[in-house]
Amino acid sequence: MTIESEKCTERTPRQHGAMEFSHAPVDLDTVRQDRLSSLRLSMAKHDVAGLLLFDQINTRYATDATNMQVWCSHYETRCVFIAQNGPVVLFDYANHPHLAEGLPEIDEYRVIPSFYFFSAGPNGPDRVKIFADQIDDLMKTHCGDDRVLGVDRLSFPACDALRDRGLILIEGEGVCERARSIKSAGELELMRASMAVCEAGCLSMKAALEPGITENALWAKLHETNIRLGGEWIETRLLSSGPRTNPWFRECSMRPIERNDLVSFDTDLIGPYGYCSDISRSWLCGDRPSDEQRRLYSAAYEQIETNIAALQPGRTFHDVSRDCWPIPEEYLSQRYPSLMHGVGLADEYPSIKHEADLDARGYEGTVEPGMVLCVESFIGSVGGREGVKLEEQVIITETGTERMSTLDFEIDWL
């Protein structure tokens, strides 16, 4: 069935394999307009006259234009300029204006005068001046006497060149992330489409899980399904098995999975329309978990459920932290780095920390309707053979939370 029919029916994971993703579930131009409006509202709130975006996630959010996003993330080769009360100018890697056709939020298409070393070599210092002159001209033309320019990320030669022209540079990543943190109704529909693909990929992995398959070969099932159904890429390789599951953050390898191994994974999947689906599950390559596997899984599941229940609109991040599941000492030192984090086109603001980490790493904020948060758990004992990784993605609504994933937990292990 198509996404149009999927959004009107009760969704279960096993329906996803039959979907085709050739038609968007919402009007994409409306979503694009909403996103650009959110950016400009955030610019106004932070007194930013112009915004210069090199982060490919931010350029995607602002324009929906894509051009080799992963490759371009390595180089300062593609950016977007946004005037708070003026045009959106896309500076692209090369002269390919057809890549911006049909994107109404882009007012002007230019080719960037490349100044990064791979492209410009020793000519970089001269070419960066050409780029700075263009940005300076845009600011003078469309922002008047206001010289405040938000920049998300840029090397110091380019920053120096912009400052030499009298521009006042401020940190622009927060301007973007705060705008991105609240999702429109259209964005949520696109995120549901991404989640449908993600879950179809997970089920492909589950069907292929048997003794002897390597971690890499199992992970490839998720990639293949994502690409086949219209997704884009996967940001990490976080799948491990048996003794490689503890401690967490080992990426997948050529290790053959053995019978009765736990297999834990974290999807970090960029699906259709560029939206991230970020869930984690732990499975057994076998028929019956051991008592130890059940004990670990039960603790992780309890953490997930308790922490989702702590999320309510209007609560502060610190209040949420204090009401989350108290981690037993046995698992505390190997806890996941955050309790929960935002997600949209990628992992994003906010990152809500454990109560034990508030003084050193926490920051305040408010849980707001329209946020999408991923609730995290890793449970593993120091020196233990295995660990359990679980994660659930939820929407903050006006009254509580709505789960975005329907992929089963192993309830019968509890």
Q: Is the pLDDT of residue 19 over 70?
A: no
Question: How confident is the model at residue 367, as a pLDDT?
Answer: 98
Asked if domains 28-180 and 185-413 share a fold, the reply is: no
Cα three-residue angle 285-287-288, rounded to 5 degrees: 105
| CATH code for the domain defined by 185-413 | 3.90.230.10
Q: Is the pLDDT of residue 277 over 80?
A: yes
**What's the fold here for domain 28-180?**
Creatine Amidinohydrolase; Chain A, domain 1 (3.40.350)
Supply the mean pLDDT for the chain: 94
Q: pLDDT-derived band of residue 23, with 50, 70 and 90 as boundaries?
A: confident
Quick one: what percent of the chain has pLDDT higher than 70? 95
Token pair of 128, please?
């960066």
Phi, psi (degrees; rounded to nearest 5) at 210: -155, 160
Cα three-residue angle 359-365-368, rounded to 5 degrees: 145
CA-CA distance, 2 to 7, in Å (whole number)? Answer: 9
Q: Is the pLDDT of residue 341 over 60?
A: yes
pLDDT by residue (tens digit) across 138-148?
999 999 999 99
DSSP assignment letter at 250: P
Cβ atoms < 10 Å from Cβ of 280: 27
pTM above 0.85, yes or no: yes
More reliable by pLDDT, 304 or 2: 304
Average pLDDT of the segment spanning 59-63: 97
Q: Is the pLDDT of residue 51 over 70?
A: yes
Q: Is the pLDDT of residue 17 over 80?
A: no
Question: How confident is the model at residue 18, as a pLDDT?
Answer: 38
Sorted by sequence, the CB contacts under 8 Å of residue 192 that are 6+ apart come out as 7, 11, 25, 404
Q: Is the pLDDT of residue 393 over 50?
A: yes
pLDDT by residue (tens digit) across 107-149?
999 999 999 999 989 999 999 999 999 999 999 999 999 999 9
Residue spans of alpha helices (H) in 315-387: 317-323, 329-332, 358-361
pLDDT by residue (tens digit) across 211-259?
999 999 999 999 999 999 999 999 999 999 999 999 999 999 999 999 9
Phi, psi (degrees; rounded to nearest 5) at 12: -130, 150
pLDDT by residue (tens digit) across 155-210?
999 999 999 999 999 999 999 999 999 999 999 999 999 999 999 999 999 999 99
CB contact at 8 A, 263 and 209? yes
Q: Is the pLDDT of residue 15 over 50?
A: no
Q: Is the pLDDT of residue 32 over 70?
A: yes
Q: Is the pLDDT of residue 400 over 80?
A: yes
Q: pLDDT-derived band of residue 22, with 50, 70 and 90 as boundaries?
A: low
Question: How confident is the model at residue 212, as a pLDDT?
Answer: 98
Q: Is the pLDDT of residue 21 over 90?
A: no
Cβ atoms < 10 Å from Cβ of 265: 26
Question: How confident is the model at residue 20, as a pLDDT?
Answer: 53
Q: Sign of dihedral through CA atoms 94, 100, 105, 108?
A: positive
Listed by start position, the domains of the chain span 28-180, 185-413
